[in-house]
Structure 1
């Protein structure tokens, strides 16, 4: 009897310990988001166009294009759109830049046409960045491009009209938390700024909740309601001070637009729809999650007159292919100058990317991640990157994307012996050809163990990436 009681007591203690060791369920959101309540089928339908798109244009444009990386004769090495913070520019001085902002060189038609020529399927533009300046007509706050500048035009409205005409999707970036010119807006703690608020000017002090309810939420409502069927994407950023309760106030607004796609940077524990790796491509992507690498063409997002470190077209195309092979999207940035003109080197590279996609887009759009279990690089055992992960160094031999009845092999390094070898096949291959070969001349296939040898022409058809197509009918 005593043994039975002891055993029962022991079991009870062990059960309690086991229960205590179980991870606590995630806290329920104060307001359920659309992602919390939709079915898998509903999510697939909502995300379908975005998953097919694979390539989009990010636009960082605002007052920061006037100083263009230089303030009081000093060049600031950080990204251009952060110059107000980096140079500790007082609010009144920064707001005064608006009187100089008259970007008469801006053409919504040309911007959308540039995106189309690059093979991009959607655009996301900074409606308001951390400096608090609205690049749209806002009744919620007069610090905007229509009311505060001699330009007196709403570029977002013009872009929306052109996107409809040219068949382009349009999304808006909105800095929901940081606002360096409105009292109470958040600011990242940097340098000698106030260690609690991040502020450097008394004009920035105030109530964050008042900022949220008097400016941020009303402006988000304006963006969601004033541009017809746009935006299709809302891109939040740097969720400092965004508690679950504060984020829930924004979610109430977002939920009124059930087809909207929004990212993982709202804050307050809301995961949104998309992971957003910035300036890097994750080694394995984000299996099970939609994701989008946002990256710059040079070293800055917002325009800097002296940043001429533009990536090569080869690098940009390899990034696109690498991202698509891992099931992600590539959101590639342009930074127009204070006249609204896109730097010529950016235009040139986008046109060149579009030329490749005109021939090879079938291997990118509407595809899924690779089915080949082949490493795309190596991890260091000692060196770590800035995110604290072991550094990943990609290898540029080939990548693969997947269609319903085709496997696409994007070959970077053309085999010197004229034979492309695959160790193991995820599907049965019935034939092969090069996508850039208009005649689709069949290539010789030779079984090799569990793999396959494909005999190729002596030279690549494209110096950056030649696409090999494997027919895999079900």
Structure 2
């Protein structure tokens, strides 16, 4: 992912959203334009065609992000210095020379990697798709690439293609597979772009100019586009279903981006995000490490978030979110019409850290019971339940602060309203249907975790309903109340 401080041509590319020591690029702030030198599928398809293309993704709601590469070897420490930033950016932060970084490949032998187990973990968590870093900003390809030898098959003692193995397992286990590809930044290829950190000089922000300087267009033509073509054609007709771009810079002109789009257009069912650059909007908004207070109504969006504080593996990052937080995030995002792309960061052996495994297994126990309130649902008919903007407090950008409330969230199906209760309201749940964005009549109710779906007493008073509840929640984190409705 990104840790951007570079000034990009259009100021709106960078936002001030900040995590501890990490200035993130908000995907929804990337500049786009209506005029494109090469029309993309989004420019030419009808609304019905778009709905059909996006249908599986909209239904999925929950996916696994995997950040894995050579950066898992130093794991946040270089020459005895513990780098304070996110793990996959260590080459940039520590100004590691290209030759020294490339030498890490000889140590990379992740024999503990097991594609079956990772796909099974995602599936058991209730995730419907996986997106893995095929190439991050360090330029190392985690796949068999004939376009450039700096890859896991040619440059390491491992000599295996984990993407091929993941593709086979995703097909067996019924999950979708997508690839993250850093199309713009590449710190080990001549001409690849780099964001500024520390004292890296203008205009290239390179710290090893003899190895990094060159023509961006040459990099794109000799490495990036050929590797994207490999990714789009070498993994059967089934995958990838998603290409996840990242960190566009002003090097990615509309004309150069158009060359990539011409390649993407050969795969008309492909879904790709809004981080290509060159003015292309892509398919999905990509808020990073945050959940927009009201979602993005009318747009397809996906919050990508870490389970601790880093994307790539770091030995000293043990700040893992609780299972409760992960479930709340998932439900909150679904209630606003988005997807939750939750990251894991395997270590240099290919092992997923135990706290990440444990939390995904715990989340999976919840989704196994309550998945109907997530998958294939539509956003809430209400909205005030998520919180409100303060009239006095300001956030870090000086804007009114949004104060989130965590009592309940709601998703919608054609004949149901799902109410996920985080805070048990006692013996009664009260809801005024006049606040719904479209009229619904509640006909009956039950708790999703109750296998018998025993009917709960519903009392109507004008436009409001009161649903009689048992004295205690059925789940300590979140219990789903199902309202059967007619329009």
TM class by shorter chain equals over 0.9
Q: Secondary structure in 2 aligned to 1:177?
A: coil
Contact (CA 8 Å) 1:189, 1:196: kept in 2 or not?
A: no
SS of residue in 2 equivalent to 1:430: strand
Written as runs of structure 1 = structure 2, the 5 A alignment for 1:447-466 is: 447-466=460-479
For 2:21, the equivalent position in structure 1 comes to: none
Superposed, which structure 2 residues align to 1:159-174 within 5 Å?
Answer: 159-174=166-181
Counterpart-to-counterpart distance in 1, 2:157 and 2:235: 22
Give me the whole-angstrom Cα distance separating, in 2, the residues matched to 1:382 and 1:92: 53
Q: Is the 8 A contact 2:33 2:280 kept in 1?
A: no
Q: CA deviation at 1:375?
A: 4.0
- Name which of 68, 73, 91 aligns with 1:66: 73
After TM superposition, the score normalised by the length of structure 1 is 0.93
Could you tell me which residue of structure 1 aligns to residue 19 of structure 2?
Answer: none
How far residue 205 of structure 1 moved from its aligned partner, in angstroms, is 0.6
* SS in structure 2 at match of 1:472: strand
Q: 2: CA distance between counterparts of 1:26 and 1:176?
A: 19
Counterpart among 309, 313, 320 of residue 319 in structure 2: 309
Q: CA RMSD in A?
A: 1.3
Distance change (3 Å), C-alpha of 1:222 and 1:389:
farther
Q: 1:215 aligns to what?
A: 223
Tell me how far 1:190 sits from its aligned partner: 1.6
Cα distance change of structure 1 residues 38 and 222 upon mapping to structure 2, 3 Å threshold: same
Report how many aligned residue pairs link the two structures: 449
Using the size of structure 2 for normalisation, the TM-score is: 0.90
For residues 464 and 192 of structure 1, the distance between their equivalents in structure 2, rounded to whole angstroms, comes to 46
- SS at 1:213 equivalent: helix
Residue 233 in 1 paired to residue 274 in 2? no
1:136 aligns with 2:138: no
CA deviation after TM superposition for structure 1 residue 65, in Å: 0.2
User: 2-side partners of 1:386 and 1:403: how far apart?
Assistant: 37
Alignment partner, residue 376 of structure 1: 386
In the alignment, what sits opposite 2:432?
A: 423
Counterpart-to-counterpart distance in 2, 1:243 and 1:206: 16
In the TM superposition, what is the alpha-carbon distance from 1:323 to its structure 2 partner? 0.2
Determine the structure 2 residue equivalent to 1:13: none
User: Per-residue deviation at 1:145?
Assistant: 0.3
Q: Does 1:47 align with 2:60?
A: no
Question: Is residue 346 from structure 1 mapped to residue 356 from structure 2 by the alignment?
Answer: yes
Q: Structure 1, unaligned stretches of length 5 or more?
A: 1-24
Counterpart of 2:292 (choices 265, 282, 292) is 282
For 1:73 and 1:30, the matched residues in 2 are separated by 49
CA deviation map 1:269-290 (0-9, x unaligned): 1000000000000011011100
SS of the aligned residue for 2:486 comes to coil
Give the match's secondary structure for 2:64: strand
Specify the SS of the correspondent of 2:202.
coil
Shift, 1:381, TM fit: 4.3
Q: Runs of 5+ in structure 2 lacking a partner? A: 1-31
Match of 2:303 in 1: 293
Work out whether 1:326 is the aligned partner of 2:336.
yes
Distance 2:397 2:55 in 1: 31
